Amino acid sequence: MTETPGAAENSSPRFDILAGDPRSPVLLHVPHASRVIPGWVRAGIVLDDEELARELDAMTDAQTDLIADAVWLRAARRPWQFVNRTSRLVVDPERFPDEREEMAAVGMGAVYSATSTGGTLRLPDAARDSRLLDEFFAPYSDRFADQVDERLAAAGWAIVLDLHSYPLHPLPYELHQDDARPEICLGVDQIHTPEWLVAAARSALAPFGSVTVNEPFRGTYVPLRHYGSDQRVSSLMLEIRRDVYTRTDGTPDPDRIELLGAAIATVVDESTRGG
């Protein structure tokens, strides 16, 4: 039987914390792999079922949870995982929940009001948005920050590897339509992304194709509790173009997922050594 990571005791129905080595500083973040939308949240989305399925196809980072599991299996010191079990159409845990969020300009702040094509996802409702933030965004953000604190206590530093995917062609909502669409995009933060981590990821992922930094996507996830204030917390976003690990019909290619897992595991191993 193939070994798979199991949920830790402090998981929630809305996210899973999958245990790694107690001494590991590394936390794999999988925020956008789920298509699950609770019933009362679905009721506030104006799309019909067919339209919603298409939107989920466009916006879900499909199979990134499988890539994370492949990394977990191959790392010398297994990382921890933090996996969102609800869709980003419920709330997007990586957005700022306030005016700092640039994506709010296109209806995609922490609570999306627009679709990937610029259509209406939800009608305006401030009370509903506040409930979504209270029930989904805040608990997720707080527990992720707690988990980072646990890695800091265990290892003296913490490293978030923020795992995403994106399509070959830009979706209409994207802010940087004319940017390159490389096989691999590394998202970095000026404060929280050390050069050695970028170099390790670039070297490990170069066999999959071209690797760019902050193009077409910029930045990486750092919990609000630590953002800009705790340099012991490092983070790197790994954006993988979907055709790198899927077949032409969009189904996952297990062999490519295994190769990606092995490559990212070398980044985890380098991170565990502290660069």
Q: Where are the domains of the chain?
A: 15-35+51-85+126-272
62-to-164, 203, 237, 239 alpha-carbon distances in Å: 9, 24, 16, 12
**What is the reported pTM?**
0.94
The one-letter code for the residue type at 269 is: D
The answer to whether 86 and 37 are in contact (CB under 8 A) is yes
Separation CA 85–CA 14 (nearest Å):
5
> Which helix (H) or strand (E) is 31 found in, with range?
none
The answer to whether 189 and 236 are in contact (CB under 8 A) is no
The answer to whether 172 and 146 are in contact (CB under 8 A) is no
217-to-57, 187, 212 alpha-carbon distances in Å: 19, 6, 10
Strand partners, 108: 112
173-to-86, 109, 141, 207, 229 alpha-carbon distances in Å: 21, 12, 24, 30, 31
Q: How far is CA 7 from the centre of its chain?
A: 18
Q: In what order do the strands lie in the sheet with 158-166?
A: 15-18, 80-84, 26-30, 158-166, 233-241, 184-187, 211-213
Nearest CA among 2, 145, 1 for reference residue 66: 2
- pLDDT tens across the length of the chain (275 residues): 356 676 655 666 799 999 999 999 999 999 999 999 999 999 999 999 999 999 999 999 999 999 999 999 999 999 999 999 999 999 999 999 999 999 999 999 999 999 999 999 999 999 999 999 999 999 999 999 999 999 999 999 999 999 999 999 999 999 989 999 999 999 999 999 999 999 999 999 999 999 999 999 999 999 999 999 999 999 999 999 999 999 999 899 999 999 999 999 999 999 987 65
Q: What token pair was written down for 133?
A: 């933030």
CB atoms under 10 Å from CB of 180, counted, come to 10
Which fold is adopted by the domain 15-35+51-85+126-272?
Answer: Aminopeptidase (3.40.630)
